[in-house]
């Protein structure tokens, strides 16, 4: 039935198009009249006008019919109505298709409105994210008080607090989860920022055009590898390697240690930092460099004394975006970090993160409306607020920086 309706729909639109176009050609181009009678809009625009009008009203009718007469379920009535609308459109077209009628303006106005709607989708997505997080989080905070959530030192959603609490399970203290996320992020940035920065310095100040052409794609490949692959690498190679290395030194640590996860996450973020920093440093005006070299400074002195200070806000923004990325990274930690919360500052222990908990809470056996499911949204809300703040700060730094150098 939808196939039939769809087919008839398309057919009727084409009918309206052909009708209006033929009519316009017959009316506008009377042999012997010549160019004095040039119409405002060429026939195609009259045709689009008619076709889109028919299409719009038929769609409207179908939606209304479905809304109010869904129970009737007849195909014949919609079909008759569609034919009627097309006939009315053709009648309208018969009256409107004149040389003076500004069909082009209407058609283009409609197209522009459609384009406008497309850009509005972006706002809808943001609203969708905010509303879904807020809505479900509020339901979560009805069950678990906000203060308990934010200050609780224990996170174990799977274990009931008391025996009699059947539906309401576990304790939801977010502190250890946030701490774990922070710990992994800090160590990842300790790896990513220096290495990424030095790569950027090398690319923008030392590497010639030819070396740049080789190095840049390599870094881009590193950036293009999906994070699930990095996760596999962490789980299979780096985790056990760190474990064995520490065992050789006489320490017995887990393969899920913060250090192992952070190394891989740091590597994942390196290309992100390096390409952003490279852009920023390449954007430092050449005059500043020339001035420094003219005074006899070496490249490294120029970088340290001139370029890094000049590019500092941009580099800061790049690092903040890197942090935001690390906070929200899911697949590496889902594979290589622990699923159990652990309140610790020790980088050789295993911790869990916000994203790991979201995945764990939503992929197990879950019942809707349970505190466990809703807790995922509360964690999501925290993650959203954190990354949003970082992004806004980073973007405003970049904007201020651009305004400074590229007026």
Partner 1 sequence: MIDQPAPLATSPFNTSSPARLPKFRCRNVQAYYGKTRVLHGIDVDIPDQSVTALIGPSGCGKSTFLRVFNRMNDTIPNARVTGHVEMDGIDIYSDQIDPTVLRARVGMVFQKPNPFPKSIYDNVAYGPRIHGLADYAGELDDIVEHSLRRAALWDEVKDRLGEPGTSLSNGQQQRLVIARAIAIRPEVILMDEPASSLDPIATARLEQLIDELKQNYCILIVTHSMAQAARVSEHTGFFYQGALVEYGETNQIFTNPVDQRTQDYITGRTG
Partner 2 sequence: MTEPKDSHKARAILRSRKRGEWMFRLMGLGSVILASTILGWLLLSLISSGHNVFYQHSLDLKITLDRQSLFSQEVPSQQDIRAADYRAVIKTALEARFPRVQETDTKKELYALVSLPGASNAVRQYLSENMQTLSESRSIILPIPVSGPVDQYLKHDEGGVRVRQTMSAQQRIWINALIEKGDLKAHFNMRFFFAPDSPNAELAGIGSAFLGSLMAILIAYLVAAPIGLGAAIYLEEFAPKNRFTDIVEININNLAAVPPILFGLLGLFLFLELGGLPRAAPLVAGLVLALMALPTLIITTRAALRQVSQHRVDSALSLGASHMQALFHHKIPEAGPGILTGTILSMAQMLGEAAPLLLIGMVAYVSAPPSSLTDAASALPIQIFLWAENADHAWVERTAAAILVLLVMMTLLNLIAFIIRSRLERK
Contacts with partner 1, residue ranges (CB under 8 A)? 28-31, 33-43, 99-100
Contacts for 274 with CB less than 8 Å, ≥ 6 apart: 195, 196, 197, 199, 200, 203, 219
282, 405 contact by CB (below 8 A): no
45, 104 contact by CB (below 8 A): yes
CB of 236 to partner 2, least distance (A): 6
Contacts for 55 with CB less than 8 Å, ≥ 6 apart: 9, 13, 16
Q: Residue 10: which of partner 2, partner 1, none does it interact with, CB under 5 to 8 A by kind?
A: none
> What's the token pair of residue 322?
């890197």
CB of 22 to partner 1, least distance (A): 15
Q: Residue 39: which of partner 1, partner 2, none does it interact with, CB under 5 to 8 A by kind?
A: partner 1
Residue 59 engages partner 2 in binding (rule: CB under 8 A) = no
CB of 46 to partner 1, least distance (A): 10
CB of 29 to partner 1, least distance (A): 4
CB of 48 to partner 2, least distance (A): 12
Using CB atoms within 10 Å of the CB of residue 184, give its burial: 0 to 12 exposed, 13 to 18 middle, 19+ buried: buried
The C-alpha atoms of residue 63 and residue 41 are separated, in whole angstroms, by 32
Over its C-alpha atoms, the chain yields an Rg (Å, rounded) of 31
Q: Residue 240: which of partner 2, partner 1, none does it interact with, CB under 5 to 8 A by kind?
A: none
Of 26 and 59, nearer to partner 1 (C-beta) is 26
Residue from 43, 271, 313, 347 that binds partner 2 (CB under 8 A)? 271
CB of 113 to partner 2, least distance (A): 10
Binding mask 134-163 for partner 2 (x = CB under 8 A): -xx---------------------------
Using CB atoms within 10 Å of the CB of residue 142, give its burial: 0 to 12 exposed, 13 to 18 middle, 19+ buried: exposed
Residue 30 engages partner 2 in binding (rule: CB under 8 A) = no
Residue 328 engages partner 2 in binding (rule: CB under 8 A) = yes
> What's the token pair of residue 339?
């699923």
Q: Residue 37: which of partner 1, partner 2, none does it interact with, CB under 5 to 8 A by kind?
A: partner 1
Binding mask 64-103 for partner 2 (x = CB under 8 A): ----------------------------------------
Of 36 and 164, nearer to partner 1 (C-beta) is 36
Taking each helix axis from N to C terminus, what angle separates 371-405 and 308-328, rounded to the nearest 10 degrees? 170
Contacts for 371 with CB less than 8 Å, ≥ 6 apart: 140, 143, 144, 157, 167, 168, 169, 170, 172
CB of 201 to partner 2, least distance (A): 5
> What's the token pair of residue 266?
């740091």
Of 36 and 365, nearer to partner 1 (C-beta) is 36
Q: Which stretch binds partner 2 (CB under 8 A): 3-11, 178-186, 219-227, 339-347?
A: 219-227
């Amino acid at each position: 039935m939808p196939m039939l309706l769809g087919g008839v729909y398309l057919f009727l639109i084409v009918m309206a198009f052909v009708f209006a176009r033929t009519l316009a050609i017959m009316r506008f181009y009377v042999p012997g009249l010549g160019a004095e009678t040039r119409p405002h809009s060429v026939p195609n625009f009259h045709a689009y006008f008619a076709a889109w009008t028919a299409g719009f009203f038929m769609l409207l009718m179908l939606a209304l019919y479905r809304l109010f007469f869904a129970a009737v379920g007849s195909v014949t009535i919609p079909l008759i109505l569609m034919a009627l609308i097309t006939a009315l459109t053709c009648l309208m077209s018969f009256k409107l298709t004149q040389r003076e009628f500004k069909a082009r303006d209407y058609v283009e106005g409609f197209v522009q409105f459609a384009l406008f709607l497309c850009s509005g989708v972006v706002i809808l997505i943001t609203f969708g994210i905010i509303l879904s997080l807020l809505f479900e989080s509020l339901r979560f905070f009805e069950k678990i008080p906000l203060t308990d959530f934010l200050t609780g030192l224990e996170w174990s959603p799977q274990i009931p607090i008391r025996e009699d609490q059947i539906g309401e399970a576990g304790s939801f203290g977010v502190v250890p989860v946030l701490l774990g996320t922070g710990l992994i992020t800090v160590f990842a940035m300790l790896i990513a920022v220096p290495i990424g920065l030095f790569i950027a310095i090398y690319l923008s100040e030392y590497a010639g055009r030819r070396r740049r052409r080789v190095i840049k794609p390599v870094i881009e490949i590193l950036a293009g590898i999906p994070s699930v692959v990095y996760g596999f690498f962490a789980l299979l190679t780096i985790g056990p390697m760190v474990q064995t290395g520490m065992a050789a030194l006489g320490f017995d640590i887990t393969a899920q240690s913060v250090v192992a996860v952070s190394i891989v996450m740091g590597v994942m973020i390196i290309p992100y930092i390096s390409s952003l920093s490279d852009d920023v440093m390449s954007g430092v005006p050449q005059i500043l460099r020339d001035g420094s070299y003219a005074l006899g400074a070496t490249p490294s002195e120029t970088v340290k004394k001139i370029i890094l200070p000049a590019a500092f806000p941009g580099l800061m923004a790049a690092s903040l975006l890197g942090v935001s990325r690390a906070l929200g990274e899911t697949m590496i930690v889902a594979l290589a970090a622990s699923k159990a919360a652990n309140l610790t500052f020790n980088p050789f222990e295993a911790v869990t993160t916000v994203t790991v908990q979201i995945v764990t809470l939503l992929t197990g056996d879950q019942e809707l409306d349970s505190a466990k499911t809703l807790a995922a949204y509360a964690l999501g809300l925290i993650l959203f607020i954190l990354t949003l703040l970082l992004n806004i700060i980073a973007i405003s730094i970049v904007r201020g920086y651009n305004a400074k150098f590229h007026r």
